[in-house]
Amino acid sequence: MGPLHRARTVILVEGDSDEAALASLAERRGLDPTARGTVILSMGGDAPALVEALSATNIPEPLDRTLDHA
């Protein structure tokens, strides 16, 4: 089983550059997402797949929009 199976938290992002940016931010702040049980998962640049994943987990779509304006 991979790290996703052991994750306590999964952060879905749209693309690879978003994943890299979030990982870089965590590193600059001295955070280790893996040690905290967090996986940053890129949806491969497929925004509709991200919205579908949010819908399937009952996570409201506005959360996605909120992060764009943070």
**pLDDT tens digits, 2-12:** 566 777 888 88
| DSSP 8-state symbol, 45 | T
pLDDT above 50: residue 70: no
* More confident site: 67 or 38: 38
Distances (CA, A) of 57 to 18, 27, 53, 60: 21, 28, 6, 9
The residue type found at 32 is D
Radius of gyration of the chain from its Cα atoms, rounded to whole angstroms: 12
Report the mean per-residue pLDDT for the chain.
76
Q: Write out the residue range of the structural domain in which residue 24 sits.
A: 3-68
Q: Is residue 22 very low, low, confident or very high in pLDDT (cuts 50, 70, 90)? A: very high
pTM above 0.85, yes or no: no
Q: How many domains does the chain have?
A: 1
Contact, 7 vs 38, CB < 8 A?
A: yes
